[in-house]
Amino acid sequence: MFDRIFNILKAEIGDAFQSNEKISKEDWELYEQFQKNKKQEEYQNFNQNFDNNSNQQPSWQQQQEERQYYAALELPNGASFEEVKVAYKKMIKQYHPDRFHNDPEKHKAAVEISQKLNIAYSYFEKKFGK
């Protein structure tokens, strides 16, 4: 089958191979079927890739999310991982829920803040590959 397709392509290109072979009707139909299948595969691959990419957030949403994580750690945008690590350790020590076990309201607030800090830190670990 591939030999026949190669012969068709060779005959189509012509001068590049300096060939004067004529294409049989069967070979030409096989070539057309091959092209049709190729287009269908490209179309299916495009649809699969589009569906996979549509589940991802657009880059502007990712940037906004990243800015929120930097803000949670009280850092400027674009800070290095070392700066993120230092800020995280400092803030988690300051807002750790165990420090507020006597006051239920402060404890609840500290739990929420520490959860946000943990989410932000895990995001930066993934981003920087640590």
Task: Kindly list the domain boundaries of the chain, sorted by start residue.
Answer: 2-54, 59-128
| pLDDT class of 111 with cuts at 50, 70, 90 | very high
Is residue 117 over pLDDT 90? yes
Q: What is the pLDDT of residues 15-68, one digit of tens each?
A: 444 445 566 777 778 878 888 887 778 777 766 665 555 555 657 788 888 899
For residues 8 and 29, the answer to whether their CB atoms sit within 8 Å is: no
Residue 85 to residue 82: CA distance in whole angstroms: 5
* Confidence (pLDDT) at 87: 94
Considering the entire predicted model, what is its pTM?
0.54
Cα separation, 95 vs 114, in Å, equals 6
- Lowest-confidence segment of 37-46, 102-111, 119-128 by average pLDDT: 37-46
**Predicted pLDDT at 83:** 94
Residue 7 binned pLDDT confidence (cut-offs 50, 70, 90)? low
> Domain 59-128 maps to which CATH number in 3.40.190.10, 1.10.287.110, 3.90.1170.40, 3.40.50.720?
1.10.287.110
Task: Copy the structure tokens of residue 97.
Answer: 């829920």
